[in-house]
Amino acid sequence: MKNTNPIGLFDSGIGGTTIWQEIHKLMPTEDTIFLADQKNAPYGTQTKEAILALSHKNIQYLVDQGCKLVVVACNTATTNAIQELRSSFTIPIIGIEPAIKPASLLTKTSTIGVLATKGTITSDLFTSKLKLYPNVKIIEQIGYNLVTLIESGQLHSQEMKDLLQLYLLPMVEQGMDTLVLGCTHYPYLTPIIKTLIPEHILIIDSGEAVAKHTQKILGEHHLLTPHTNKGSTVFYTNVNPSILQTFAPEDIQVQQIEF
């Protein structure tokens, strides 16, 4: 494998762009290919078997494009399928999980909230991780419909505000002082969330940590690019690109392909 090959990323859709941004910020000279499987979004309401099959298909596509490493830019796919995916491919595969560990270190009230998809919250991986923090009260909340609204261009809708209020206020009432955004789509909700919950509540996600981990693993495999110029970026989707385009960097033209 050549160190000049691209880094691949995939998600069910728009959420993966938040991870791409962190990867690109940290390693701007790396070439990247981002796959948004919007035709099959959301993943969060599907079975473990379906999530695994879709994730496998996406990684195979990225491997066929020559990717030297793949970032699963999706908590739902990671928590349901990462072990099986790692055993199916030989390149390094990086996953993303809700940032419970940093939240458990930051909380002063020993009460954290986790907002994530149904697929993540009900996964064996996620539920087994919760047991590692017996002294922290962890309030789990499924973000029903949030991804669907973002994917359909309704990020700034009244419905979004109403749903967030419904999900978050009970967590605030239970003393949450740290909120974990456990889905890569949710960082786009941060400005809205800030208008709904008290200012002292910390909002955290795993994007930056995943980018740092990706850099470390590339280094360990001697796969960091030696290039010093800005890397190339390709965004692919399998539906009409117009909504994803509004979340993509200005100089990137999202391409619609079959995968």
* Binding site as annotated, residues for substrate: 11-12, 43-44, 75-76, 184-185
Looking at the Cβ atoms of 184 and 225, the one nearer to ligand DGL is 184
> Distance (Å, rounded) from C-alpha 54 to C-alpha 81?
10
Looking at the Cβ atoms of 59 and 223, the one nearer to ligand DGL is 59
Pairing between strand 255-256 and 233-237? parallel
The answer for 3, left when phi > 0, alpha when psi is -120 to 50, beta otherwise, is: alpha
* Residue with the CB atom nearest ligand DGL in the bound state: 44
> Distance (Å, rounded) from C-alpha 208 to C-alpha 73?
12
Looking at the Cβ atoms of 96 and 168, the one nearer to ligand DGL is 96
Task: By CB under 6 A, name the binding residues for ligand DGL.
Answer: 11-12, 15, 41-44, 74-76, 117, 120, 147, 183-185
Provide the minimum distance between the beta carbon of 3 and ligand DGL in the complex, in angstroms, as a whole number.
Answer: 28
Provide the minimum distance between the beta carbon of 77 and ligand DGL in the complex, in angstroms, as a whole number.
Answer: 7
Beta-ladder partners of 255: 236
Provide the minimum distance between the beta carbon of 173 and ligand DGL in the complex, in angstroms, as a whole number.
Answer: 26
Residue at token pair 């692919």: 236
